[in-house]
Amino acid sequence: MDFATLLQMLDATLRLATPLLLACLAGLYSERAGIFDIGLEGKMLAAAFLSAAIAAVSGSVWLGLMAGIGASMSLSVVHGLASITFRGNQLISGVAINFLAAGLTVVIAQSWFSQGGRTPQLSGGARFNPITLPFAETLQNVPIIGPIYYELISGHTALVYVALLMVPLTWWVLYRTRFGLRLRAVGENPAAVDTAGVSVIYLRFAAVGICGILCGIAGAYLATALQAGFVKDMSAGRGFIALAALIFAKWRPWYALYACLLFGFLQAMSLRPDVIERVLSFQVNGQLLDVLPYILTVVILAGFVGKAIPPRAGGDPYVKER
Amino acid sequence: MDAMPKWADVILIPLISILLAAVLSALVIVAIGESPLAALQLMIEGALGSTYGWGYTLYYATNFIFTGLAVSVAFHARLFNIGGEGQAVLGGLGVALACLYIPWPHWTLALLGASVMAAVFGAAWAAIPAFLQAKRGSHIVITTIMFNFIAAALLNYLLIGALKAPGMEPATPKFPEATQLPSFQDMFSFGEATLFRGAPANVTFFVAIAACVLVWVLIWRTRLGYEIRSFGQSESAAKYAGISPTKIIMVSMLISGALAGMMAINNVQGEAERLVLNAVEGAGFIGIAVALMGRNHPFGVLVAALLFGFLYQGGAELALWTSIPRELIIVIQALVILFTGALDNMVRMPLQRLFLAMRRA
């Protein structure tokens, strides 16, 4: 594989890893606070639809982004109500949210745009366009570093950089702030947090809210940056791959970045079967690449490669003693 | 002492939840500029107005009975088997192998053989997540989700490879004549009157009814069922009573997987008569809604499956005659799962308070 192809592959990896990373960090906040969320997929899908719809109508991608976050947040509120306020089953709530999004997006898209459940194609200011970082063009001709900077690091949409910045930010919030300490504590031992006089309900709602914002950005990225418009079921299992990455990363932010880059690389590879064949000199089955994240996660869960231990209070509604 | 009489728990709460889901669904229909009443009328006419409509409704219901029973058996052991979809895919593979490679002399034997293969394949697909849950403590929800995706890819791989029939389509060859199950049209048409013309409902419906009875016997009339229920109620109490958690997790998931797999005799052997891509069409997930709505009781599952069969066939009619897309059914399904499952306490808590107040008065 020559240098240019490698850069292309890594560039695609970064682009495909971005929605995974945002959704994975979203899940990280929620699950670290003890709320399982298998509705990441649905929230992304809802955000993808509404961001594309509003961007198409208003012509402004930023309004689209806000709308996407709003859509995702409203599903988060449903999840919060079901799993925190009414102490329902968090997994069932997640399943319901996934189906709600899968159905509603198509029904509303058909009613608004009559294009078979898709939004109009976005262009210009209705999309996130690539940003060229300073000096990228002047440095382009410097050997090795120039192309890396120009091809790989520069030239992505704003949301890619946002996603990457979220990793250190999440680390800082979780491990260096009072809020983060309490958030982690509420996922391990909510009774202790309650005894210390901190509201479990508030903390969990905050976590679910942050999860909604990040899923919203992830969905908006899908429809307005990675692709130009919404199509039916466009999240295509990414929410579940993000969930897999979260387990793979054992609920830690930096490892989440590595896991998402790995899974993004697998997705990039399955898009370029020609490159794989040239490098490995045999054909790799595309289906195998697609399901490798899931297989790897099952292997991790089986405990063959270290043990993945989820937050201890994950999935349990908190009931105050009376 | 319970806060509520039993009938309120079994009938009133599901009824209110369904009503809430129905009201919200009606609001969605209003929001997209159609009339909910006209839509309901169209659905009733399309799904129940003719033997043809009934034939489709019962066909879908058969699928949902199997997947609903699958989810509810696992629920009794407090396991959430979200992998019915993948298990049904594998069941289809078992049916296809049985029908294609074994020369059956008569459809009755073929039905028996295919059922066994479907159950074995479905159970095998549930066995790995069950084992990981029992021995490694890895969460069964996550592993079964992963196995759904792996099953879809596996089927995809086989249908464009080893099992593919000549031609463009990713599907197996048509099954031999002797394996084809009698449809309702074959069974219930006498002389001049042709009933259920062209509808896919077939003899599998009666297998599904039998499965309901057997699951009822298993859960409420056998020692194993007692063990499964007590494990589901309290794992620690079950352990003290000498019930092995590993055994219960494995057995209940194997039964669950086998039931989900057996759906394939309806859709693969009974309807398509060959194995195609995406043969399950989300029926595995509808099993979740059916089990929740049916309160994990085989009779409840039967009723809920019939309702969802009606919704499915009615939804297809809606998509055909109005501008309401088929996906509306997915919205209704989501609302049913939300209200009967996740938001159960929203209905239950005020009702409990009401009954307590009435008792005091």
The Cα of B142 is separated from the nearest Cα of chain A by a number of Å equal to 8
- A305 pLDDT more than 70: no
Tell me, what's the pLDDT at A306?
Answer: 65
Per-residue model confidence as pLDDT tens for chain B (361 residues): 467 888 888 888 888 998 999 999 999 999 988 899 999 999 999 999 888 999 999 999 999 999 999 999 999 999 999 999 999 999 999 999 999 999 999 999 999 999 999 999 999 999 999 999 998 878 888 899 999 999 999 998 899 888 888 888 888 999 998 888 988 888 887 777 778 888 899 999 999 999 999 999 999 999 999 999 999 999 999 999 999 999 999 999 999 999 999 999 999 999 988 999 888 888 999 999 999 989 899 999 999 999 999 999 999 998 888 888 889 989 998 999 999 888 888 988 888 889 888 888 7
The pLDDT tens digits of the residues spanning B129-138 come to 999 999 887 8
Tell me, what's the pLDDT at A114?
Answer: 87
Write out chain A residues lying below 8 Å of B32, CB-based: 107-108, 110-111
Average pLDDT over chain A, rounded to whole? 89
Q: What is the ipTM of this complex?
A: 0.91
Tell me, what's the pLDDT at A45?
Answer: 96
Tell me, what's the pLDDT at B1?
Answer: 46
Tell me, what's the pLDDT at A151?
Answer: 77
Higher pLDDT, A149 or B344: B344
Of the residues A76, A232, A287, the best mutation for testing chain B's interface (the one with the most B CB atoms within 10 Å of its CB) is A287
DSSP state of A154: S
Write out chain A residues lying below 8 Å of B347, CB-based: none
**Is some CB atom of chain B closer than 8 A to the CB atom of A249?**
no
| Percent with pLDDT over 70 in chain A | 97
pLDDT band at A198 (very low <50, low <70, confident <90, very high): very high
- Reading the block at residue B27, the tokens are 């609001």
- A191 pLDDT more than 70: yes
Tell me, what's the pLDDT at A116?
Answer: 81
- A167 pLDDT more than 60: yes
Higher pLDDT, A317 or A24: A24
Tell me, what's the pLDDT at B170?
Answer: 87
Judged by CB atoms within 8 Å, which residues 253-312 of A form the interface with B?
285, 287-288, 290-291, 294-295, 297-298, 301-303, 308, 310
HEC profile of chain B = CCCCCHHHHHHHHHHHHHHHHHHHHHHHHHHCCCCHHHHHHHHHHHHHCCHHHHHHHHHHHHHHHHHHHHHHHHHHCCCCCCCHHHHHHHHHHHHHHHHHHCCCCCHHHHHHHHHHHHHHHHHHHHHHHHHHHHHHCCCHHHHHHHHHHHHHHHHHHHHCCCCCCCCCCCECCCCCHHHCCCEHHHHHCECCECCCCCCCCECHHHHHHHHHHHHHHHHHHCHHHHHHHHHHHCHHHHHHCCCCHHHHHHHHHHHHHHHHHHHHHHHHHHHHCCCECCCCCCHHHHHHHHHHHCCCCHHHHHHHHHHHHHHHHHHHHHHHHCCCCCCHHHHHHHHHHHHHHHCHHHHHHHHHHHHHHHHHC
**What's the pTM value of the predicted model, to 2 decimals?**
0.91
- Rounded to an integer, the average pLDDT of A108-126 is 87
Tell me whether residues A110 and B325 touch, CB distance under 8 A.
yes
